[in-house]
Structure 1
């Protein structure tokens, strides 16, 4: 009797072809990206294995996991064999990976350089399609006390309320600030407005003995540091 189910589970594959078994017996390093995603979705269709389906999805984004993480649930569901439940599972895994990276950066004892600011904030704002302006509040040891979303904007800009920045600094007892925002366009060159708001915040903070240590512009793969370029 022919099985009429339209999908088949990974459990029905030979042991050598099962990603779960491969993980258990050979270790995490031996699985491909497609096999990891196949474990998430659990099954393919009667005409395509879960791994081949995932290879097809990954090929559409040039096998780039960062690009896969940008696909919406609706975009994932456009692939034959990916229903809502599977699309949500993939999206959830990608988001957890992004948040884990941000959490690991925050665990570090202190901000030691512009690169550590990039590590902390790139998972948060580096891939957004709109601008967000964040303030990182630090103590005397440059340890992160709080990172705070100040404002959201459009594709080309966002608003900065100097009074709110300093109010929060006093509330959290911060002695140092790092300004950071993203450029969805991908360019890391600061605009005249970026320079003006940096100077405005620096001047205002100095009156309260609070230092603006840097302003870091972040994109998906690169950043610009005002401190590194001696613009502070």
Structure 2
């Protein structure tokens, strides 16, 4: 059971809507403009909150400044239940639009299996190469399934 503090400072049992509302508040606090991402786990948790509910693939970019403070988190591409087309040109354009120095890319696997496919590995390499041309660092690529897979933690970046 989950309890939350009500407006009268008394705790009450939370229903599903309360839990969803609290999750959105946590997400907004951690991804608000200017918030520094102080650890990979903080970014991972917030990205999971954003991507876990989708029943189709969604590709997002978390745009960061030089101190890894959040500039924006944008959903750039949507796909089907088993894939999404990602275009490096559009990621580069968005990075320039936000004047980002670094970014974290992420997408979900509605199947729940977070292991990267060959296509995931290829697009990560293409994005890293394209963004390097404009001096934007790719810090990580997260795949959200039942768990969150990190390319950086597995030495793939």
Choose from 78, 82, 89 the match for 1:156: 82
Which consecutive residues of structure 1, in runs of 5 or more, have no partner in the other structure? Answer: 1-22, 38-64, 66-89
Which residue in 1 is equivalent to 2:150? 225
* Structure with larger RCO (C-alpha < 8 A, sep 6+): 2
Which residue in 1 is equivalent to 2:13? 32
Question: Between Structure 1 and Structure 2, how many residues are aligned?
Answer: 151
Q: TM-score, normalised by structure 1?
A: 0.60
Shift in Å, 1:26: 8.4
Q: Which has the larger radius of gyration?
A: 1
1:105 and 2:30 aligned: yes
Which ranges of 4 or more aligned residues in structure 1 deviate by more than 3 Å?
Answer: 23-26
More helix by share: 1
Q: TM-score, normalised by structure 2?
A: 0.86
After superposition, residues 31-110 of structure 1 pair within 5 angstroms as 31-33=12-14, 37=15, 65=16, 90=17, 93=18, 95-107=20-32, 109-110=35-36
Aligned 8 A contact 1:114 1:225 in 2 = no
1:121 and 2:47 aligned: yes
Q: Deviations over 1:77-136 (max 9, x none)?
A: xxxxxxxxxxxxx5xx55433321211222483223331122222221112111100011
1:171 and 2:97 aligned: yes
Which consecutive residues of structure 2, in runs of 5 or more, have no partner in the other structure? Answer: 1-5
Shift in Å, 1:184: 1.0
Aligned 8 A contact 2:31 2:73 in 1 = no
Q: CA RMSD in A?
A: 2.1
Aligned 8 A contact 1:114 1:216 in 2 = no
Choose from 58, 66, 73 the match for 1:147: 73
Give secondary structure in 2 for the equivalent of 1:157: coil
